[in-house]
Amino acid sequence: MKKIVLIISLLTLVQIGFSQSSSQIPTGFQYQAVIRDDSGDALSKQDVTIRFSLLQGSASGSSVYAETQEVSTNAFGLISLSIGQGEIVSGNLSTVNWSLGSYFLQTEVDFGSGFDDFGTHELLSVPYALYGEDADADATNEIQDISLDGTSLTISGGSTVDLGVLEANTDEQDLADVLGQGADANSLVIFNLADPTNAQDAATKSYVDANDKGAFSNESNVISAGDSDDDFVFGSDQLVDDNSSSEDDSRMLFDKSKGAFRAGNVNADQWDETNIGNYSTALGISVLASGYSSVAIGNDNIATLSGAVAIGTGLTASQDYAVAIGQYNEASGLNSTAFGINTSASGSNSTTMGNSTIARGDSELAIGSFNTDYTPAGDDTDRIFVVGNGTESGSESDAFTIYKNGNALLDGTLFVNEPTDDTHAATKKYVDDNDEVGAFTNTSNVISAGDDDDDFVFGASDLYNDGTRMFFDRSGGAFRAGVTSESEWEEASVAQWSFASGYKTTASGIGSVALGHSTTATDLAATATGRLTVAAGRNSFAAGIGTTAGSYAETAIGSYNTTYSVTNSQNFNSADRLFVIGNGSSSVASDAMIVHKTGDVIINGNLSIDEPTVDEHAATKAYVDNSMASLNDFDEVGNIDFEVLVQGETKDVDYSFASVSKSTKESRVGQSFKAQISGKITRVVYRMIFSSTTGNEFVLYDGTGFGGSELARIPFTPGGTSIQNVDITFSEDIELVADQSYTVAVEGTDVECVLTNDNPYSAGTAYWGSSNGGGTWDSYQLTTYMLDRITPQTAISANETSVGVWTDAPDASAALEVSSTSGGLLMPRMTTTERDAISSPADGLMIYNTTTTTFQGRAGGAWVDLN
């Protein structure tokens, strides 16, 4: 049986009345109590037997009366009995001599297994009203003598009163005067008085009944004001405070128009008309009740809105139906209640109790002392109950907190009884003594599941259930933690030994790993991490955002790399990628770098490296430029020296320049050409006839003819006066722009242009004349040119129809002739994906496909294998 607590409420211990038939005091008195269990819960609707024993003298005195009564508790655990009306065990209550001293009441309760003693309490004055039965109604033994000595009236068994204060206006009103009015009287009642005419005349009953009765009247035993519309005040001649005097600070008033009552002391405007709420009540010192039906009782309290109540000292009830009781409490929330001292209930329907507690949230209950303050969020994370255990301001703390979402926080140790039911909380001792109980055990500091074959899940009722959860699939050795919305973690997608964590991650490959947001690892030992990444190849790895690693052992990082047709996702194949760095976006995929399994590397950008220090280091552009500048075959930035070796038609001079004699000599001759591509010109070789070896200069003009701006002017000395080669090396590179025209010229003493069939160095438009101008000999627009590297003899040569590599005389039947006995022609190499990316390939285009290891050509709008 649980321990039962009997809480006695002495609401009415005795009711005394007189029977109309016998006029006797009933023998008995009332008894009420609430029965609760040891948890404080009321025992409702339970049958019990109560035994009362009346002990004389002390709590351990002898019993003079005992009785039992059977009763049932109500829904609140309450019992109500009349002691003296039960089944008598011993004694007689009506014969108890209450005048002999103290008496004590012992209470015992039987719940079915015997009486338990619930304590003994001393009876105070109320039951001793039974002693009043000893009073009698005999009036003769109460007669006393009365005497009048001057104005002093004395009774023999009482005291003396001075009648001197009654002398005013009464000297004419003696008995003789009264009898002189013609009235007769006996010793008890005066009869037959005439209606009074003077203020001092004795009045008859009929006169008083028929006329104004004064400020108060008594009708049918009801005392009331003479005028039903009057206000009422004692202690002042007006309801409101007289600020010029303190004599009316203490007063009692009833405002008839507002149905409001005031009693006490105020020294300001608390009880003025504007601060008196309809039907309000204010009692005490400096209390204000300005709200409708509000109540303020005590000292310095304020109740300002409808139904607000403030009882105590220094209280404020500032919202509708707010209640503040105690000292210095504030109830500022709707329907809030603040008890104790220095408490604040600001949330709607909130309650505070104790010392300096605060309830901010709606419907929050705060008890104890100095709980912590906070700002409610307005959701289920707000508090609903808090027990403060702080000691002072600045040292606030909480012993126990319950939140609206059901979570609870205990700052301390929870002591409970030993559990006897499966639903009871277990104690540490119970767990220590029963280490095999529950889902987990702790053996040798190793925590494990009770059953070695059990799966494990938190956040759901089973492993394969949509939503937020964490689980370990024991049979497959697979682990999941996070959130799913579809079938990512259904049984078919949970591979053996796999691991997935995050949001909508899928690890469907054996031993695969998927981490982050919407990542997928579908093959053996594949790993995908980041967001929207896919590891589809065996042993592959994808990280970043939007990356895909599709082939065996492929690694993809970065963002949104390009995809391709994978040759083999299960085994190594040299045609597939090994490593890729994506630098694309969700709308356009691209790659910063690709490393193929062949070792080939594609970098879509500049590769910056350190300056080389040993032979095996890769060289930088600066290193090459600086090194090449020291070689005769290259300029200072690494460009190969070249000659302008333009060929024209095979004509003799007379035919080409028919208007001029061959023996004519001029002081300036030259020819123009159009640049086929943009680049730098560093050297020019020209073939001329000179009459003198002094005073000669080479000039490069911008545009056609001698009228353009000078780009270079270089003096030189020819080797003789016959046909000589003009070999000019520029001190600074000259930039040539594609499709722009330029003119080279030699100026000096009697120079002459030579154009013959065996001279491949001269052609185009030749100019002659003095420095003041000249005329055109002939016009041949340059359309081809040849670049010549002197050592080794590598050359690209062109005439009007053919281009030669390693030959300056390409066969006329070929657009391109490659002449070599030490090397072959290397076709463009690319994968199938790269080949298919060629925009509008023309028929006749040839490539080498590294994916299929075949030569392919374009024919009839399709690719055809050539081997």
Question: Encoding tokens for residue 848?
Answer: 């080498």
**CATH code at position 94:** 2.60.40
pLDDT-based confidence at 14, cuts 50/70/90? Answer: very low
CA distance 519 to 532: 5
Q: Are residues 810 and 845 in the same domain?
A: yes
pLDDT at 858 over 80: yes
Q: Are residues 76 and 194 in the same domain?
A: no
CA distance 514 to 494: 11
Residue 437 covered by a domain = no
Question: Pairing state of beta strands 216-219 and 222-225?
Answer: antiparallel
The distance of Cα 165 from the centroid of its chain, to the nearest Å, equals 83
pLDDT-based confidence at 720, cuts 50/70/90? Answer: confident
pLDDT-based confidence at 121, cuts 50/70/90? Answer: confident
Phi, psi for residue 626 in degrees, rounded to 5: -70, -35
Of 780 and 351, which is predicted with more confidence?
351
pLDDT-based confidence at 225, cuts 50/70/90? Answer: low
Residue 271 covered by a domain = no
Segment 139-149 shows an average pLDDT of 63
CA distance 767 to 745: 8
Residue 476 covered by a domain = yes
Q: Are residues 765 and 806 in the same domain?
A: no
Segment 51-65 shows an average pLDDT of 92
Instruction: Give pairs for 635-641: CB < 8 Å, separation 24+.
Output: 635/680, 635/682, 635/733, 636/733, 637/680, 637/733, 639/679, 639/680, 639/682, 639/733, 640/787, 640/789, 641/682, 641/683, 641/729, 641/789, 641/790
Does the model's pTM come out above 0.75?
A: no
Domain total in the chain = 6
Range name among 182-191, 364-373, 682-691, 832-841 with the lowest pLDDT average: 182-191
pLDDT at 139 over 70: no
Segment 244-260 shows an average pLDDT of 74
pLDDT at 221 over 50: yes
Segment 592-607 shows an average pLDDT of 89
Q: Are residues 686 and 566 in the same domain?
A: no
| Predicted pLDDT of residue 415 | 75
pLDDT at 740 over 60: yes
Of 143 and 773, which is predicted with more confidence?
143
pLDDT at 328 over 90: yes
Segment 777-793 shows an average pLDDT of 30
| H-helix or E-strand spanning residue 337 | strand 337-341
pLDDT-based confidence at 15, cuts 50/70/90? Answer: very low
Q: How many CB atoms lie within 10 A of CB 748?
A: 22
Q: Are residues 779 and 804 in the same domain?
A: no
pLDDT at 329 over 90: yes
pLDDT at 832 over 90: yes
Q: Are residues 463 and 509 in the same domain?
A: yes
Whether 500 and 511 have beta carbons less than 8 Å apart is answered as: no
The DSSP call for residue 665 is: -
Among 60-64, 205-209, 366-370, 462-466, the range with the most confident prediction by mean pLDDT is: 366-370
Nearest Cα to Cα of residue 382 among 357, 365, 399: 365
Q: Are residues 299 and 379 in the same domain?
A: yes
| Predicted pLDDT of residue 737 | 82
CA distance 121 to 703: 131
CA distance 252 to 236: 8
pLDDT at 782 over 90: no
| Predicted pLDDT of residue 36 | 80
| Predicted pLDDT of residue 22 | 39
Of 687 and 393, which is predicted with more confidence?
393
Of 15 and 553, which is predicted with more confidence?
553
Q: Are residues 501 and 534 in the same domain?
A: yes
| Predicted pLDDT of residue 863 | 94
Residue 252 covered by a domain = no
pLDDT at 538 over 70: yes
Residue 1 covered by a domain = no
Tell me the pLDDT of the chain averaged across its residues.
75
Nearest Cα to Cα of residue 686 among 769, 629, 738, 743: 743
281-304: per-residue pLDDT in tens?
A: 989 888 999 999 999 999 999 999
pLDDT at 331 over 60: yes
pLDDT-based confidence at 633, cuts 50/70/90? Answer: very low
Of 368 and 424, which is predicted with more confidence?
368
CA distance 409 to 388: 12
Segment 125-149 shows an average pLDDT of 57
> Which residues have CB under 8 Å from 621's CB, separation 6+?
none
Q: Are residues 764 and 815 in the same domain?
A: no
Q: Amino acid identity of 634?
A: F
| Predicted pLDDT of residue 12 | 35
Segment 98-122 shows an average pLDDT of 88
Burial class of residue 826, CB neighbours in 10 A (0-12, 13-18, 19+) = exposed
The rounded percent of the chain whose pLDDT value lies above 70 is 65
Q: Are residues 457 and 579 in the same domain?
A: yes
**CATH code at position 772:** 2.60.120
Q: Are residues 558 and 687 in the same domain?
A: no
| Predicted pLDDT of residue 323 | 95
Whether 350 and 342 have beta carbons less than 8 Å apart is answered as: no
Residue 265 covered by a domain = no
Residue 350 covered by a domain = yes
Residue 461 covered by a domain = yes
Which residue matches tokens 């002990």?
55
Domain boundary among 80, 98, 123: 123
Phi, psi for residue 451 in degrees, rounded to 5: -115, 125
**CATH code at position 390:** 2.150.10.10
**CATH code at position 583:** 2.150.10
CA distance 706 to 775: 11
| Predicted pLDDT of residue 330 | 95
3-state SS, residue 103? strand
| Predicted pLDDT of residue 242 | 58
pLDDT-based confidence at 640, cuts 50/70/90? Answer: very low
Q: Are residues 803 and 724 in the same domain?
A: no
Domain assignment of residue 187, given as a range: 178-212
> Which residues have CB under 8 Å from 777's CB, separation 6+?
656, 657, 659, 660, 753, 766, 767, 768
166-186: per-residue pLDDT in tens?
A: 544 444 445 555 445 444 444
Range name among 147-161, 507-521, 823-837 with the lowest pLDDT average: 147-161
742-764: per-residue pLDDT in tens?
A: 777 777 766 655 433 333 333 33
3-state SS, residue 506? strand
Nearest Cα to Cα of residue 51 among 119, 122, 139, 143: 119
pLDDT at 501 over 50: yes
442-467: per-residue pLDDT in tens?
A: 666 666 665 666 766 776 766 676 67
